[in-house]
Amino acid sequence: MDRNDAEIRMMKDERIPKVLFKLGMPTMIGMLVSALYNVVDAYFVGGLGTSQMGAVSIAFPIGQIIVGLAMVFGSGAASYISRLLGEGNERQANRTASTSLFSSLIVGVITIAFSLCFLDNILVSLGATDTILPYARAYAAIYIAGSILNIYNITMNNIITSEGAARITMISMLLGGGLNVILDPIFIYPLGLGIRGAAIATVISQAATSLLYIWYISRKKGYLRFSLRDFAFDMTIYSEVFKVGIPTLVFQLLASASMGLTNAAASNYGDSAVAAMGIVTRVLALGTFVVFGYMKGFQPVAGYNYGAKRYDRLNEATRVSLKWATWFCGILGLIMMVFPSAIVSLFSKDDVRVIDIGGKALRASGIVFIFFGFQIVYAVLFLALGKAKEGGLLSISRQGVFFIPAILILPRLMGLSGVIYAQPVADLLTVVLTAVLAAGMHKELIARKGDSEGHE
């Protein structure tokens, strides 16, 4: 218990840059490794052919929907738990953790069963061509069936991070991601399983992560306790969890829809276009997952100090996070702008058209990726403070409000170039909206800080 008390004191009293580094760095590394699941699959599957690469791209949105279900309960519970711990309400924090974990598993089983029953229809709606569909079916059936493990892992990852135990999340993701890198080429090539081997390797790797989390909670290593006795259909808990979790789910659903719409639009230009846009999506995922990982360290700090009315620490954490995220996104965006074709060719050496289309798309995305950190810091901040309206609006803007009209309109006006530039256009519009909402939030925090100091 002493170690866990130290983690709570760290969020309350330790220097902000130091606590953000301690919490953000492990989760950032962990999320980067998590992103490697998809990149590694794409890298090794790319050697099988363009249609196989396209199949992995088609299946990717389904995985994102399943991730979104886990994030409903994981991120929603994390926001609420961090505030409860800031208020000193340990009992309600434990009830929230158990209720969210078991609820995510129940919903996950139902969703997976539905997806498998209508798999072909789903894959076709996501842009699978006649040549891609057999490979997409072979990969997705295994990947989806095993994704209950991923639901468990993501929910646990978020909940454990909310109590400040970021190290275990990093170790668990490193374990799974590292194992996937080793198993992927073995199952695909020497064992002759092809694209099915990539899916099997991913499921085995996720199982290893699940076992580590089970060990963690069974040994009572953390501050929170998980028990079926604490699982309850408590409307107070669900209300707080869904207030943050539903906007996160909407974000994931829109992200999946945007991938599906992109694949469908690209399929009009052949398998090479589908494969190229899939490669760009995975390269961007490396960068976005790093930012998301850091934000998972920022979220409990923001939520805890907001709950404890430590507005000075909240403001400092926001400033530091903006600076670090902007530097990272700027450097990565520059790399994507300068070396786009070289990056894409890592995944497809023989298809010149894939390299050409992917290079153009990656360069365009790199230009606007510089502002991605700014978007995400405030999206996470709003959700961490329980401000679901603003956080939800930002969550649906980049992949929904702005992107969906762009991907539906621009290809009709510009052809394949419209597919390439749809996301960058949506990103720019989201930056403008973020700036407007951020200005209003800072005015409110200044007023709250004044009221708090006036009552001391």
Question: What are the domain boundaries of the chain?
Answer: 17-454
Nearest CA among 413, 23, 4 for reference residue 216:
4
Q: What was the pLDDT predicted at 2?
A: 44
Predicted confidence band of residue 355 (pLDDT cuts 50, 70, 90): very high
- pTM over 0.85? The answer is no
Q: What was the pLDDT predicted at 384?
A: 79
273: Cβ contacts below 8 Å, ≥ 6 apart:
266, 267, 353, 357, 416, 419
* Distance, first Cα to last Cα, the chain: 31
With 70 as the cut, is the pLDDT of residue 20 above it?
A: yes
Name the residue with higher pLDDT: 84 or 449.
84
Instruction: Judge whether 307 and 86 are in contact, CB under 8 Å.
Output: yes
H runs (alpha helix) in 14-165? 16-45, 50-87, 90-117, 119-125, 133-145, 147-162
Q: What was the pLDDT predicted at 1?
A: 43
Q: What was the pLDDT predicted at 164?
A: 66
Per-residue CA distances from 200 to 108, 140, 392 (Å): 19, 10, 35
* Rounded distance between C-alpha atoms, residue 337 and residue 340, angstroms: 6
Instruction: Judge whether 38 and 282 are in contact, CB under 8 Å.
Output: yes
Q: What was the pLDDT predicted at 450?
A: 58
285: Cβ contacts below 8 Å, ≥ 6 apart:
35, 38, 39
Predicted confidence band of residue 434 (pLDDT cuts 50, 70, 90): very high
With 70 as the cut, is the pLDDT of residue 346 above it?
A: yes
pLDDT-above-70 percentage for the chain = 91
Q: What was the pLDDT predicted at 449?
A: 62
CA 454 to chain CA mean position, Å: 40
Longest dimension (CA), the chain: 71
Pick the range with the lowest mean pLDDT from 23-37, 165-179, 203-217, 279-293: 23-37
Mean pLDDT within 42-47: 82
Instruction: Judge whether 131 and 110 are in contact, CB under 8 Å.
Output: no
With 80 as the cut, is the pLDDT of residue 199 above it?
A: yes
Q: Where are the beta strands (DSSP E) in 222-367?
A: none
Pick the range with the lowest mean pLDDT from 203-207, 294-298, 402-406, 412-416: 294-298
Pick the range with the lowest mean pLDDT from 18-22, 257-261, 333-337: 18-22
Mean pLDDT value across the chain: 84
With 80 as the cut, is the pLDDT of residue 410 above it?
A: yes
Tell me what percent of the chain is helix, strand and coil, each rounded to the nearest 5. 85, 0, 15
Q: What is the pLDDT of residues 271-283, one digit of tens each?
A: 899 889 988 988 8
Nearest CA among 69, 66, 144, 68 for reference residue 103:
69
With 80 as the cut, is the pLDDT of residue 341 above it?
A: yes
Per-residue CA distances from 59 to 63, 344, 447 (Å): 7, 19, 47
